[in-house]
Amino acid sequence: MKLGMLTACLPQLTLTEIAAWASQAGYEALEVAAWPSTGGRDFEAAHLPVADFGSRAADETRALLAHHGLEISALAYYENNLHPDSERRAAIHLHLKKVVEVASALGVPYVGTFVGRDWTRPVADNLREAEKVFPELVEYAGERGVRIIIENCVMEGWHPDGYPGNLAYSPELWEWMFSLGLYLNWDPSHLTWIGIDPVTTIAPYADRIVHAQAKDLQIQSGKVDRYGFFGKAVQRDDPWDTGWWRYRVPGRGQVDWNAVVDALYENGFTGTLSVEHEDPVWSGTEEKVKTGLEIAHRTLRPLIAA
């Protein structure tokens, strides 16, 4: 198992700058953000020029990683592959394929994304639609030696009413998406707030958990008694603010990292545990984000065998 970090939390820095810092901080791998440089979501980062990635860029990227003793564990483009707007969906699929091509050129085994959801249609319709959409994407990746991995994030902020916007949040849905040739980028934080014990989900799906993200979650005492499970309804200016829980860096929330790492080892996980930093306490400035990543490293490094 290697300890890595997702670069999306430092969108203002270049990959060169992130690699230098991450290596010095003791990280071994980078999960590299590869959104379009034009942006779209407010936290997007474009750390590889996937739209125009030639052999020179590939050589420079490999040299950069070798210089700092790092590897790329996965490329990250977490978008809504079932977007209700047909033009937007087509653009997402086109960029996803470009990310796959860059992963193949660099020898990176995984590209991470979301299943997503068309929030104008029932869940059952979305499942049938995904069964039409994903086989072609999976085949495109497979022909290039790449696997598509899906993060089990609920993405409740994508749905206008705060309901799940990514149909990959539960073991029931994992079993369905595995049948489409997809793999799992397993993240315990999302399981925690929807009432699923993360540790219990590792053994049954160990053969499909090929990459993992390390993000913690803090449930704020008493708040769910006011807002209920689905969160704020009357005053919810920020669609991501449920009012009763928030993401934290590992070691500052409720995830039992000793149990998580132990279960991953016991069930044969040999991939990368990649810190995904979305902690509002350690955000706002580059210095605070880096401090958050250092806290995560201090929490997880002693648990991972040398």
Report DSSP letters for 23-44, one per residue: HHHT--EEEEEB--TT--STT-
- Whether 36 is covered by a domain: the verdict is yes
Residue 38 is predicted with a pLDDT of 59
- Whether 132 is covered by a domain: the verdict is yes
Angle between the N-to-C axes of helices 86-106 and 55-68, in degrees from 0 to 180, rounded to the nearest 10: 60
- The beta strands (E) that lie in 102-225 are given as 110-114, 147-151, 183-186, 209-214, 216-219
Cα angle vertex 278, ends 296, 61, to 5°?
75
Closest to 2 (Cα-Cα) out of 30, 33, 31, 29? 29
Q: Per-residue pLDDT for 159 more than 90?
A: no
**Mean pLDDT value of segment 15-24:** 98
Q: Per-residue pLDDT for 41 more than 50?
A: no
Q: Per-residue pLDDT for 43 more than 90?
A: no
List Cα–Cα distances, 291 to 174, 177, 274, 281, 286, in angstroms.
Answer: 34, 36, 16, 10, 9
Q: Per-residue pLDDT for 228 more than 50?
A: yes
- Whether 153 is covered by a domain: the verdict is yes
Could you read off the pLDDT of 166-183 as tens digits, one per residue? 999 999 999 999 999 999
- Whether 241 is covered by a domain: the verdict is no
Residue span of the structural domain in which 86 resides: 2-213+254-278
pTM: 0.96
Both structure tokens of 23: 């290596």
Residue 160 is predicted with a pLDDT of 77
Closest to 112 (Cα-Cα) out of 48, 184, 202, 41? 184
Closest to 187 (Cα-Cα) out of 291, 116, 96, 257? 257
Could you read off the pLDDT of 245-291 as tens digits, one per residue? 999 999 999 999 999 999 999 999 999 999 999 999 999 999 999 99
Q: Is residue 161 very low, low, confident or very high in pLDDT (cuts 50, 70, 90)? A: confident
- Whether 294 is covered by a domain: the verdict is no
Please report, rounded to a whole number, the percentage of residues in the chain having pLDDT higher than 90: 91
Query: Could you tell me the CATH number of the domain that includes residue 48?
Result: 3.20.20.150
Both structure tokens of 209: 């958990």
- Whether 290 is covered by a domain: the verdict is no
Q: Per-residue pLDDT for 40 more than 50?
A: no
Q: What is the mean pLDDT of the chain?
A: 95
Question: CB–CB of 147/185 below 8 Å?
Answer: no
Say which residue the tokens 């990683």 belong to.
Answer: 65
Q: What's the total number of domains in the chain?
A: 1
Helices (H), 153-283: 171-178, 188-193, 224-227, 257-266
Q: Is residue 78 very low, low, confident or very high in pLDDT (cuts 50, 70, 90)? A: very high
**Mean pLDDT value of segment 191-202:** 97
- Whether 51 is covered by a domain: the verdict is yes
Question: CB–CB of 117/129 below 8 Å?
Answer: no
Residue 163 is predicted with a pLDDT of 87
Say which residue the tokens 């997503």 belong to.
Answer: 116
Residue 184 gets the label, from left (phi > 0), alpha (psi -120 to 50) or beta, of beta
Could you read off the pLDDT of 114-124 as tens digits, one per residue? 999 999 999 99
- Whether 223 is covered by a domain: the verdict is no
